[in-house]
Structure 1
Amino acid sequence: MKIKATIATVSLLSVIAFGAQAAQLVTGDQAQNMQPAGTVTISGTAGAPMDYRAQLSQKADEQGASAYKVIEARTGDNYHFTAELYK
């Protein structure tokens, strides 16, 4: 029983730690207090909203940004998103 509790705790902490390091989606109001750091785009075929957020967050992280705001979004059979990055 202790092993299950330990595994559950470690899993939860891993998710929390990952979320703390990943760039966060922000609103326009939140972005007003942040320094712009460029833009990124993603595109492809098929996907889910969680996939889009993960891809944008990863690209923002690669550019050293702590947050991003989506400024263009097209979905359907193909998707395309553009996000402004913030530090």
Structure 2
Amino acid sequence: MGATGFYVTVRTADRAHPALALGPYDSHRAARLEVDRVRQFVTTQSRAAGWWLYETARVTAQPGRELPVGTLNALLACGQTAA
């Protein structure tokens, strides 16, 4: 089994699956503590973002593959990585 990480996710009305916005983090708690920061950032970018769903998700990479990088990591300076 590959590495496991936790992410802040964002699901818009147009997306069937949530986007991995920020992460990976080592724990669910660490990701959960960032949900409000992601919500605040995204709602300043789009008026519709106040209606979107902000949650956390656990992702396990396939063996031999790395965990994906959150789409907002560079913008929000996410420095934590999953083990």
Higher strand share: 1
TM-score (norm 2): 0.31
Higher helix share: 1
Q: Which has the larger radius of gyration?
A: 1
TM-score (norm 1): 0.30
